[in-house]
């Protein structure tokens, strides 16, 4: 007797993994693809991967360590090879050349201190006013210099020196800081970072050289900090990185592009020492 069997109907159910059904838009280097599965695409266990790798986004120098490291990298590149081993800037203007003979004057140094005080007064006033909420993060960091400079200028006055009015470099820079602080927080933060951090490094070296030449090695208050300077700087680095986390890549790049202007203004004030 011949037996007849009805061929069973097989049904294949695909269970897609969570990673396929939902991947956040900002998940790095991947994106979802929406398409219909063709008939023979199922694997033996019924799972299909539908993610396709994109070309990795360009990584900026220092980015992995945080935005402050990006700012530091750009700033160091703007030094000449003589000024820093990471420096790449080509000397084009006479004022960009390293000073061969370091001969500061008291009158020139007082101009530098007075213009510096105007800039720090302006910076600290902007931070206190906080036209943008992020500025408030940088109140009372311990890096403030305005009060210290007031003490130094008072000391010079007591020694019989005439204290000058702020000169063009300081006035110009202070006005520029006010202008950008009201409409361009990324640009302002660039100047904030470069002014305070440059003073804590190269600025201290310059202060020491000046003291040796014209102040009988007296250390001014301008070059003293209450507390451990390295920790104060780290605290501000952390705050800067936190603020920059909310910025787009374009906003970060805009901040970095402002570095050259910061150097130009600060350099004009620094050169007053030799005037």
Domains of the chain: 105-273 (1.20.910.10)
The CA distances from residue 71 to 9, 18, 99, 143, 193, in Å, are: 66, 39, 26, 18, 8
Does 120 score more than 50 pLDDT? yes
Kindly report the pTM of this predicted structure: 0.76
Structure-block tokens of residue 81: 């090879």
- Summarize the confidence of residues 157-183 as an average pLDDT: 98
Contact 262, 78 (CB under 8 A): no
Q: What is the pLDDT of residue 54?
A: 60
The residues, ordered by sequence, that sit 6+ positions from 195 with a Cβ below 8 Å of its Cβ are 119, 120, 123, 262, 266
Q: Measured in Å, how far apart are the chain's first and last C-alpha atoms?
A: 119
Tens of pLDDT, residues 25-40: 333 333 333 334 344 4
Rounded Cα gap, residues 162 and 164, in angstroms: 6
Average pLDDT of span 238-259: 98
Q: Is the pLDDT of residue 20 over 50?
A: no
Average pLDDT over residues 165-175: 98
Write out the H or E segment, with its range, that includes residue 255. Answer: helix 249-257
pLDDT, one tens digit per residue, over 63-105 is 899 999 999 999 999 977 565 566 556 666 665 556 657 899 9
Question: CB of 51 within 8 A of CB of 23?
Answer: yes
Identify the pLDDT of residue 60: 83
| Alpha-carbon span 7 to 37, nearest angstrom | 26
What values do phi and psi take at 173, rounded to 5? Answer: -65, -45
Whether residue 2 is predicted with pLDDT greater than 90 in this model: the reply is no
Q: What percent of the chain has pLDDT over 70?
A: 72
Residue showing tokens 């800081």: 177
Q: Are 164 and 114 in contact (CB under 8 A)?
A: yes
- Residue 221: which pLDDT band, with cuts at 50, 70 and 90? very high
**Beta bridge partner(s), residue 53:** 30
pLDDT attached to residue 101: 76
Are 46 and 11 in contact by the 8 Å Cβ rule? The answer is: no
């Amino acid at each position: 007797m011949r037996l007849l069997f009805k061929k069973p109907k097989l049904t294949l159910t695909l269970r897609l993994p969570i990673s396929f059904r939902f991947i956040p838009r900002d998940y790095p280097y991947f994106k979802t693809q929406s398409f219909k599965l063709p008939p023979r695409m199922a694997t033996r266990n019924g799972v299909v991967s539908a993610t396709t790798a994109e070309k990795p986004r360009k990584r900026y120098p220092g980015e992995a360590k945080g935005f402050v490291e990006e700012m530091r990298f750009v700033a160091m590149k703007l030094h000449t090879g003589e000024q820093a081993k990471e420096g790449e800037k080509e000397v084009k203007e006479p004022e960009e050349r390293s000073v061969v003979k370091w001969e500061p004057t008291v009158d020139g140094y007082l101009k530098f201190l007075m213009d510096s005080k105007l800039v720090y007064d302006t910076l600290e006033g902007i931070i206190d006013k906080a036209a943008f909420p992020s500025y408030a993060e940088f109140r009372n960091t311990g890096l403030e210099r305005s009060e210290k400079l007031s003490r130094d200028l008072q000391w010079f006055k007591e020694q019989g020196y005439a204290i000058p009015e702020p000169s063009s470099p300081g006035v110009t820079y202070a006005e520029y800081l006010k202008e950008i602080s009201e409409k361009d927080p990324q640009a302002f933060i660039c100047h904030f970072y470069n002014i305070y951090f440059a003073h804590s490094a190269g600025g201290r070296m310059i202060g020491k050289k000046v003291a040796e030449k014209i102040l009988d090695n007296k250390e001014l208050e301008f070059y003293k900090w209450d507390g451990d300077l390295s920790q104060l700087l780290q605290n501000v680095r952390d705050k800067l990185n936190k603020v920059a986390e909310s910025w787009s890549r374009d906003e970060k790049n805009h901040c970095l592009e402002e570095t050259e202007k910061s150097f130009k203004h600060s350099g004009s004030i620094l050169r007053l020492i030799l005037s």
